[in-house]
Chains A and B, each alone.
Chain A
């Protein structure tokens, strides 16, 4: 069920202009002269039109003209398809069951099942009932129906997971399930304080009420808050969420073999570290665990991966994916050997758009040499890549469209450049201490590079200009890597890297420049060997342990751990929870508007409207010529 909505419906008034062709049609429809003729016998032998056919054709012509005007008005009104056509009828009760790690204490989830079951049974008789489980994401376990037995059975099958509590995501999913119906949401939760995540979206419809079924939290919880490898030592941080000091021991394993245990005494509401030297190993999985039987079970263990990824995986996005479009980059990277080697792959923009999250996850750095064929999905993937810590290099060459990159990286980096021509330029580093230029010392070797053409980069205030052309304009800009921004790094190079606008690939400085630049970009990604539950896509991202990411030679293992915030049993009151929902409601309209804009932007139906209008006008022209 899809409906059509408009972002700027006032433009639909323009459709009134469709009256113009109608008026013209009515005014001129009898304009053809009537000629009395005798030799009709011979005229009938020619392929002439009967008047009725003519009228039909005229009506078709009129319809095409009216359609062209209406489509133009429609395109200006920015149409988009809404997920649901209209509010459904009938009230509903949606039961949201918290299955986050903070409900993994002994006996806690039995209470959750009991309260959720009660919510289903006590739902008003006329209501349809749905059951959703939620932690970092929400899943429908029993879709909206009148089958209450089915809903109760689905609740009985639920179990606590390792995810973190995210109320907004859960409420938003529940609102979708309501699909405009009036109804009530029953949230069965421990009201964990960390559950309101400002980063996620969410909106509650006005006609939905929210009730909370509280589940008790444990009085104490011991959690392994962190595990890291420092040199040859494994370091575990233990956190005590209780008012009493706690004595325990941290047990370390390497590839499931116990390597030792470290006794710890953790002060009340404090933390301590346990260190243990590890046997010499190039790879393996280290785990640390505590024995906390009263608190949450999910946060009693933590994992770390010792594997060293030897090769940085570099993905080049080119115009058509032909090897020649990234030839010099490939050759430059191919000369690196040993631990510093690169794995290189070139794809077209269209192919890149089809990659799944897992395939991009294993890539250390992406180099954009062409944007042709890069669809919306590919653009989003680029932005997500930088947000999640990936390194991105854009070479502002002839195949890269600034508007595409600007739109793709909106909110990640402020990118802008214009093309220019004329004047031979060369390159000079602005800061020779930067990791990319450290190797070049004074940068003399770069001065031999001759740039026939270069883009005029616009450096935003928060960007760092790493190199400039000899006319003083920026040649290499870095964005990202700063607090509050994207986790990854973004470099914008003001020319191409494939011997089209410059002779850089033929210069001796090209290979070390490319190596250092990509190593620098890949470094932010390579260090990340730990993810939180819910950060990785797929089933392996939902459970704590070790997950494999990337594909082929770029595959590597990473640790997946419980969000440390989930170990904090501090609760909020039901009033605070309701206040949070009120804030959601207040921003719902704003959110809805933003969603509409995003939806419209993604669908871009106005393009199809304009295309159809052009088709209608072309058809009208052809038909008009036939009519004479």
Chain B
């Protein structure tokens, strides 16, 4: 249902599948972020995002160009818009590039969705003058760009995201612990992954970041087919990571499959929530601005 809304011109509701065809990752991320920000003014969550639309009474010495004349016309008082953050946050984007992220039932793959999400977040962070870094991993660390707020650094992040190569199998414990140890300044850690690993080791790795004082937000990416298991015919299901096959009759195993999935999601939600980690389940057909909203609410705590 999101595509028709995109056709109405509201970029913030662009379907990720449509977005994927827009062009460079920079363009995509800009489209998402600009659309998101323009919508934010009309959003019912207006007070929630004070970083971008903060008004304060005019004080002598303020730049006259920052006075909002429309507000003055309505209230007969001088208010100025404040665009810049006063404190910068060091943001770490951690993107899972394991083979399972390459899965797509239709539209975009989890990796494509994850890279668009990471790019959008990077763009947004850069706009807020936050330092942004990117780390990709599978069972080891693949790419690591330390956080920086320089404009050229955003381009480097976007290029890295644009040229991702699918990795090997998922094993999150080692990369997470390595990175947690490497971060020496408290900041915001954004993990984008399908979390197809032992929940215990994943949770343990994420808690490590919290232990080091960072705010953590986890985007758990899931494909619509993974979420609903819509298969009808008996088939041999081949593991994208291990290559082994399982014969299954979907009607016979659907209930157990969905039960196991639900149980895992509930566990992540419960245990990560109790650890103070923001956990977001993201269907790859979900518009990206929901993810941005999550980021902003968590960033508020990180500041």
Contacts and interface: CB of A to CB of B under 8 A. Distances in A.
Interface of A: 32-51, 53-54, 626-628
Contact of B194 (A38, A45, A628): A38
A41 B198 CA distance: 9
B245 A45 contact: no
B226 A38 contact: yes
A36 B248 contact: no
B235 A50 contact: no
B260 A35 contact: no
Interface in B238-287: 238-242, 245-249, 251-253, 255-261, 264
A38 B223 contact: yes
Contacts of B194: 38-39
A49 B196 contact: no
A32 B234 contact: yes
Contacts of B264: 41-42
Nearest to B256: A46
Nearest to A48: B248
A111 to B, nearest CB: 83
A221 B115 CA distance: 124
24 contacts: A32-B234, A34-B245, A35-B231, A37-B103, A37-B226, A38-B226, A39-B223, A40-B237, A40-B241, A40-B242, A41-B260, A42-B257, A42-B258, A42-B261, A43-B253, A46-B248, A46-B253, A47-B256, A48-B248, A49-B246, A49-B248, A51-B236, A51-B246, A627-B234
Contacts of A36: 103, 237-238, 240
Given A33-B233, A36-B238, A38-B100, A50 B256 contact: no
Contacts of A35: 231, 235-238
B110 interface: yes
Given A39-B261, A46-B257, 4 more contacts: A46-B255, A49-B246, A50-B247, A628-B249
B164 to A, nearest CB: 16
Most buried by B among A40, A44, A45: A40
A33 B257 contact: no
B248 A43 contact: yes
Contact of A43 (B251, B255, B257): B257
B238 A37 contact: yes
Contacts of A38: 99-103, 110, 194, 196, 223, 226, 239-241
Contacts of B260: 41-42, 45-46
Contacts of B256: 45-47
Most buried by A among B101, B246, B257, B259: B246
In the complex, the 3 A-B pairs of residues with the closest C-beta atoms, listed nearest first: A46-B256, A628-B249, A38-B103
Interface of A is mostly: mixed
A161 B250 CA distance: 82
Interface string B88-116: 00000000000111110000001000000
Contacts of B259: 45
Interface residues of B, number: 38
Nearest to B231: A35
A37 B249 CA distance: 14
Given A33-B235, A36-B103, A47 B249 contact: no
Contacts of B99: 38
A56 to B, nearest CB: 11
Nearest to A34: B236
A45 B196 CA distance: 13
Most buried by B among A37, A38, A45, A54: A38
Contacts of A34: 235-238, 245
Nearest to B248: A48
B199 to A, nearest CB: 10
B236 A41 contact: no
Nearest to B109: A38
Contact of B237 (A37, A47, A626): A37
A628 B234 contact: yes
Contacts of A48: 237, 246-248, 253
B268 to A, nearest CB: 13
A54 B236 CA distance: 10
A628 B252 contact: yes
Given A38-B223, A38-B226, A628-B251, A43 B235 contact: no
A478 to B, nearest CB: 68
Given A38-B110, A38-B196, A43 B236 contact: no
Contact of A41 (B196, B231, B238, B251): B196
A627 B226 CA distance: 23
Contact of A49 (B101, B241, B247): B247
Interface in B151-194: 194
A54 B247 contact: yes
Contacts of B110: 38
Contacts of A49: 246-248
Contact of A51 (B241, B247, B255): B247
Nearest to B247: A54
A121 to B, nearest CB: 75
A50 B239 CA distance: 12
A32 B236 contact: yes
Contacts of B247: 32, 48-51, 53-54
